[in-house]
A and B are shown apart, each in its own frame.
Chain A
């Protein structure tokens, strides 16, 4: 059973602070890692993808990947109230199932004005 674990939160941060979201996964052969943002009642929206160890930055978002530790994180700098949402970590299956994703249950982020 391929598993993706996230802290369910809620994670509360003040406006302007850095929010740090974490994810661990069980499939050591996974190669593709994604962060989706989901507002309440809405569909998941892709915000970051990462495929290599290290950091990947896009605006206020930074994804970090450590395959040896099977760990993915998302940092949100200068957090805004509009960042309040549930963040889903998704990891692809290794091998023949590489186009399947397993999703974590999500971390709910609340940015306090």
Chain B
């Protein structure tokens, strides 16, 4: 089983819909991150969390919100999806004292 699990793996939806992407991990890591990846733009950080009471905006947080429901769960919401949020979304985890991050398998999101 994957250490970092993202659901759903693929999602197609319409403009204006609310969408939630979920991430859960069994690695016991305290840090969790959400990235999006677009062709030619690389990986960009949306939000990150160091524990359930610590949420921080990343480089491109506008239009997104997050919730850290538990140490092992970190969800990303698009309140009103728009087509330019079509991208590949990755959740990643990290542990205290080490900068290394470990990625989930990703969610491919298409907004029509």
Contacts and interface: CB of A to CB of B under 8 A. Distances in A.
Interface of A: 31-32, 34, 41-46, 49, 88, 90, 92, 98-101, 103-106
A98 B42 contact: no
A63 to B, nearest CB: 13
Helix, strand, loop or mixed for chain A's interface?
Answer: loop
Which of under 10, 10 to 19, 20 to 34, or 35 or more describes the interface residues of B?
Answer: 20 to 34
The B contact surface, by secondary structure, is: strand
B42 A105 contact: yes
Nearest to A93: B99
A112 B48 CA distance: 39
B40 A99 contact: no
A32 B99 contact: yes
Nearest to B104: A43
A91 B103 CA distance: 16
B100 A49 contact: yes
* The 8 residue pairs across chains A and B that have the minimum distance between CB atoms: A105-B42, A32-B99, A92-B99, A103-B43, A43-B103, A44-B103, A43-B106, A43-B105
